[in-house]
């Protein structure tokens, strides 16, 4: 992040605006709306700027001088002379005053975002100076999403906030209450300007809620293999409304960023031989957070029900009488296959696909090898990096063709995705010589050949 958007309270604060033309006029309008006391310095003014003369705006006719900076908290240099703007910027910076030179980010200590103004609700959009056109396009979209009178809703909510806080002291319960209200009848009435009716509905709902015990809920959410764009809409909705997020090692940073920012984040990840938080403890954590009335998001890599121990977690929740929902996710097998250009089934090459785990327990992989020999069956192995050579050898020994193609995909769907291809007889050595790191998916079967036919490597 190159810039941090902040919302300044400029009411009754002095701001210096250098320039009196069309560019300065645009900035002046914004500053006036924000309630600033604006000192304009310029040898002349366009007519539209003059119209703002009054208690909030004065003008010193002349060129910028250092003394114009006395007592100001913010400076905008908006002349059509880049050198003058640069000089104003340098003078302000010497005094440690925040300065913006219009269209000269190199001379600015802050930049001004595009705005969607539904005061008191404000949305600021910035491309960090890289593409004002893109920022404007995003603004147009947001403008269309937010009804023009959305500010009314914010205003009325603000007026009732303290009252509701007293009636619902529990922060989680209160947050849930507001989420419901801001999407329901209260919001509709407030948007229509029917404040009295809206207030009545809000207070009645609040009284009802305050008299019931709050019980939380657990969402078992499939976070997919890594690329956050692969999250389902339902996953995002529940992630956004959760009070606490318990996540695994394989949940990517990009996915975590889609969760509610102020949620509590609890890492319960498990590396292969390093059980950070044992499963029974995770089960207990889920129950105890829910009992506190919190909405708990249990984020699991891929799909919760595919090698994810989701079944054990919901068994425990059901036994404890905790409400839960399960949201399916794109499993690593699907994600990796799609991003690597390997169809898992194909009319001509594979009529079935089997998901297996290569996890080794006491030196043994417990797999019915004889069921895996049909050339028309694609095999997809999870957790099979360490055991890759053992798996390939066993398959060949039991009779699968040693020339069967194999692809190993590391960190599939993420920008750093890597793919190594070979056959049952060559893949283990290739993978170790490249030094592939977990997590990896191993896909075995003739379908892997299609990747080359589709020239996927050249057309990601």
C-alpha 67: how far from chain center: 46
From 88-96, 134-142, 372-380, 411-419, give the range in contact with ligand SAH by CB under 6 A: 411-419
Number of H helices, E strands in the chain: 16, 19
CB of 438 to ligand SAH, least distance (A): 6
Considering the rule CB under 6 A, would residue 247 count as an interface residue with ligand SAH?
Answer: no
- Residue from 19, 216, 228, 302 binding ligand SAH (CB under 6 A): 302
Cβ density class 22-47: b for 16+ within 10 Å, e for less: ebbbebbeebeebebbbbbbbeebee
CB of 103 to ligand SAH, least distance (A): 42
- Residue from 250, 263, 337, 421 binding ligand SAH (CB under 6 A): 250
Considering the rule CB under 6 A, would residue 301 count as an interface residue with ligand SAH?
Answer: yes
- Residue from 306, 388, 428, 431 binding ligand SAH (CB under 6 A): 306
Q: Which residues contact 97 (CB under 8 A, 6 or more apart)?
A: 69, 72, 73, 74, 75
Nearest to 421 by CA among 410, 413, 411: 410
* Cβ atoms of residues 221 and 241 within 8 Å: no
- Residue from 331, 377, 378, 387 binding ligand SAH (CB under 6 A): 331
Q: Identify the bridge partners of residue 324 per DSSP, sorted by sequence position.
A: 218
Give the x/- contact pattern for ligand SAH in 175-214, rule: CB under 6 A. Answer: ----------------------------------------
Nearest to 335 by CA among 419, 209, 440, 230: 230
259 DSSP assignment: S
Q: Is 248 a catalytic residue?
A: yes
CB of 269 to ligand SAH, least distance (A): 11
In angstroms, rounded to a whole number, what is the distance separating the alpha carbons of residues 190 and 300?
Answer: 39
Compare residues 126 and 357 and give the one whose CB is closer to ligand SAH: 357
Q: Identify the bridge partners of residue 423 per DSSP, sorted by sequence position.
A: 405
The 3-state DSSP class for residue 197 equals helix
Which member of 68, 248, 303, 446 is catalytic? 248
Q: Which residues contact 69 (CB under 8 A, 6 or more apart)?
A: 16, 75, 91, 92, 95, 97
The sign of the dihedral angle between the CA atoms of 121, 229, 255, 232 is positive
Q: Which phi and psi (to 5°) does residue 255 adopt?
A: -70, -45
- Residue from 19, 226, 341, 445 binding ligand SAH (CB under 6 A): 226
In angstroms, rounded to a whole number, what is the distance separating the alpha carbons of residues 248 and 269?
Answer: 4
CB of 413 to ligand SAH, least distance (A): 6
Q: Is 300 a catalytic residue?
A: no
Compare residues 216 and 412 and give the one whose CB is closer to ligand SAH: 412
Compare residues 216 and 439 and give the one whose CB is closer to ligand SAH: 439
Compare residues 198 and 441 and give the one whose CB is closer to ligand SAH: 441
Compare residues 20 and 226 and give the one whose CB is closer to ligand SAH: 226
Compare residues 19 and 439 and give the one whose CB is closer to ligand SAH: 439
From 154-162, 177-185, 302-310, 361-369, give the range in contact with ligand SAH by CB under 6 A: 302-310
* Cβ atoms of residues 20 and 49 within 8 Å: yes
From 109-117, 233-241, 409-417, 445-453, give the range in contact with ligand SAH by CB under 6 A: 409-417
Peptide bond before residue 120 is cis, with ω within 30 degrees of 0: yes
Question: Closest CB to ligand SAH belongs to which residue?
Answer: 302
Compare residues 225 and 228 and give the one whose CB is closer to ligand SAH: 225
Considering the rule CB under 6 A, would residue 412 count as an interface residue with ligand SAH?
Answer: yes
Active site residues per annotation: 248, 270
- Positions touching ligand SAH (CB under 6 A) are 225-226, 250, 300-303, 306-308, 331-332, 336, 382-383, 409, 411-413, 438-441
């Amino acid at each position: 992040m190159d810039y941090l958007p902040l919302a300044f309270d400029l009411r009754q604060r002095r701001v210096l605006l250098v320039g009196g033309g069309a560019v300065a006029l645009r900035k002046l309008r914004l500053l006036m709306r924000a309630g600033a006391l604006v000192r304009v310095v310029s040898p002349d003014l366009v007519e539209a700027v003059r119209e703002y003369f009054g208690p909030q705006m004065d003008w010193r006719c002349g060129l910028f001088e250092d003394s114009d900076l006395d007592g100001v908290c913010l400076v905008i240099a908006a002349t059509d002379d880049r050198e003058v703007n640069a000089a104003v910027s340098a003078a302000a910076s010497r005094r440690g005053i925040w300065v913006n030179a219009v269209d000269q980010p190199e001379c600015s200590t802050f930049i001004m975002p595009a705005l969607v103004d539904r005061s008191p609700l404000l949305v600021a959009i910035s491309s960090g100076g890289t593409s004002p056109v893109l920022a404007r396009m995003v603004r147009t979209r947001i403008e269309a999403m937010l009804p023009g009178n959305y500010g009314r809703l914010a205003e009325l909510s603000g007026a009732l906030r303290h009252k509701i806080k007293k009636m619902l002291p529990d922060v989680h319960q209160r947050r849930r209450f507001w989420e419901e209200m801001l999407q329901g009848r209260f919001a509709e009435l407030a948007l229509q300007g029917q404040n009295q009716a809206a207030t009545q509905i809000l207070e009645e709902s609040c009284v009802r809620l305050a008299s019931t015990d709050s019980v939380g809920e657990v969402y078992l959410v499939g976070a997919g293999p890594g690329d956050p764009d692969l999250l389902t809409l339902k996953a995002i909705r529940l992630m956004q409304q959760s009070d606490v997020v318990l996540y695994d090692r394989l949940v990517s940073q990009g996915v975590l960023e889609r969760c509610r920012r102020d949620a509590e984040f609890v890492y319960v990840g498990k590396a292969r031989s390093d059980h950070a938080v044992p499963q029974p403890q995770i089960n207990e954590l889920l129950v105890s957070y829910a009992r506190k009335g919190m909405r708990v998001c249990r984020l699991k890599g891929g799909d919760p029900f595919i090698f994810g121990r989701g079944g054990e977690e919901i068994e425990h929740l059901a036994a404890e009488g905790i409400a839960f929902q399960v949201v399916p996710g794109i499993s690593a097998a699907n994600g990796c296959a799609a991003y690597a250009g390997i169809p898992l089934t194909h009319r001509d090459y594979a009529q079935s696909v089997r998901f297996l785990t290569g996890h080794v327990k006491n030196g043994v992989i417990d797999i019915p090898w004889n069921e895996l020999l049909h050339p028309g069956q694609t095999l997809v192995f999870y957790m099979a990096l360490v055991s890759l050579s053992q798996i390939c050898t066993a398959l060949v020994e039991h009779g699968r063709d040693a020339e069967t193609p194999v692809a190993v995909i590391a960190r599939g769907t993420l920008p750093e995705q890597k793919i190594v291809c070979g056959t049952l007889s060559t893949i283990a050595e290739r993978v170790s010589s490249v030094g592939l790191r977990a997590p990896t998916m191993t896909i075995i079967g003739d379908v892997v050949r299609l990747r080359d036919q589709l020239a996927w490597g050249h057309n990601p």
